Amino acid sequence: MKCPYCGNIDDKVVDSRSSEDGSYIRRRRLCSSCGERYTTFETVESIELMVIKKDGTRELFDRQKIRLGIMKACEKRKVTSDQIDSMVKSIEQNLVSSMQKEIPSEVIGEMIMEKLKAVDKVAYVRFASVYREFKDVDTFMEELKKIITDK
């Protein structure tokens, strides 16, 4: 590790601690040259997921987009922040564990709808109406009929 004060690469780890959730390790280091202490954080290198959009363009996966989409669908519903966080975390874990570097946006959309359907059917229909681009009332009614028959 390169000392931020003098640039020397020879140091000694004085203290190591894991974060509460175990997602990173905090290390206190002592530079053997200038004697200054500094902190580093060690995390697991994650795969950068690319999302293939409907038009074929690619962009980096952004968990915040999933969160915002779910929040918008759940607006004025009795869905808690913890439930939303849980859905986002579950979707992200499923995507990472799939070991694919590129994921079509349709796959992500279907995952979101699956989670919403289990938590709040109204939020599910809201999300589906935007995601599937319902063109008219008939398409909307078809989706509602599917939910009713699934009971």
pLDDT digits (tens, 9 = 90+) for 48-97: 899 999 999 999 999 999 999 999 999 999 999 999 999 999 999 899 88
Of 22, 16, 14, 27, nearest to 44 by C-alpha is 22
Confidence at residue 46, expressed as pLDDT on a 0 to 100 scale: 66
pLDDT exceeds cutoff 90 at 5: yes
* DSSP-assigned beta bridge partners for residue 39: 28
**Burial class, 76, CB count within 10 angstroms (exposed 0-12 / middle 13-18 / buried 19+):** exposed
Q: C-alpha 71: how far from its chain's center?
A: 13
pLDDT, the chain, mean: 89
Residue 112 has pLDDT above 90, yes or no: yes
- Domain ranges across the chain: 11-43, 50-150
pLDDT band at 118 (very low <50, low <70, confident <90, very high): very high
Entry pTM: 0.63
CA 40 – CA 48 distance, rounded (Å)? 22
